[in-house]
Amino acid sequence: MKHNLRLGFPWVKIRQGYGLTESCGATAFFISDEQVKTHPAFCARLVPTFGAEIVDYETGSAFPPGRKGELWLRSPPIMKGHLGNEAATAATFDPDGWLKTDDIVEDEEAGQIPLAYVVRTPGSELTEEQVIQFVAIQVTPYKKVRRVGFISAIPKSAAGKILRKELVSHSQQVIWKL
């Protein structure tokens, strides 16, 4: 049975958007349902008070519009740092206060394509197909894993946050099964 939230709250408009735990919720959202249909990988307008830059994730230099890179955000609602962990705070923010989101992977047609990085236990013979099938029976179709990379360890920051840009760099060295 499909639940319709609008029945209980007819004045509420539900919109697709983008946000992070570090940003205390949404940072961008679609204005209309038409935007979602015509631009499914686009997160539309920034919430007031938010600034965003697309930067070269290796140098931190801002790119002009239309270039692909890492998304950085700045706004008063964004967390100020990691409590008691200056190293993690320094790794998460640039000197001007921009939050380094680590968000960079995009597919031209569908936005982001789900993939898995797996650390096998010693002696394991786990295959890519086994991982794909395991995930497929537990998630909705758009969340199904389409690629699997086996690595020795998941790279993490001093705060324990997964370093996705390092995984992206690693993915370019892995031969993927499409």
Q: Do the bridges between strand 147-150 and strand 115-118 make them parallel or antiparallel, or are there none, so unpaired? A: parallel
Rounded distance between C-alpha atoms, residue 103 and residue 168, angstroms: 10
Which CATH architecture describes the domain 115-171?
2-Layer Sandwich (3.30)
Please report the pLDDT score of residue 140 as a whole number.
73
The angle subtended at Cα 141 by Cα 117 and Cα 38, nearest 5°, is 105
H or E stretch including 133? helix 128-136
Nearest to 149 by CA among 119, 112, 111: 119
**How many contiguous H segments (helices) and E segments (strands) does the chain have?**
5, 8
Class of domain 5-100: mainly beta
**How many Cα atoms occupy the beta-carbon half-sphere of 5 within 13 Å?**
5
Nearest to 150 by CA among 116, 104, 112: 116
Rounded distance between C-alpha atoms, residue 56 and residue 62, angstroms: 6
pTM, entire model: 0.58
- Domain extents for the chain? 5-100, 115-171
Rounded distance between C-alpha atoms, residue 42 and residue 57, angstroms: 20
Q: How many CB atoms lie within 10 A of CB 102?
A: 21
pLDDT in tens, the chain (178 residues): 455 555 667 777 767 777 888 888 888 877 766 665 666 555 568 889 999 999 987 788 999 887 888 889 999 999 999 899 898 889 889 999 999 987 777 555 545 667 788 999 999 999 999 999 998 888 777 678 888 888 889 988 887 888 877 887 766 555 443 3
CA dihedral 118, 120, 121, 125 (to 10 degrees): 150
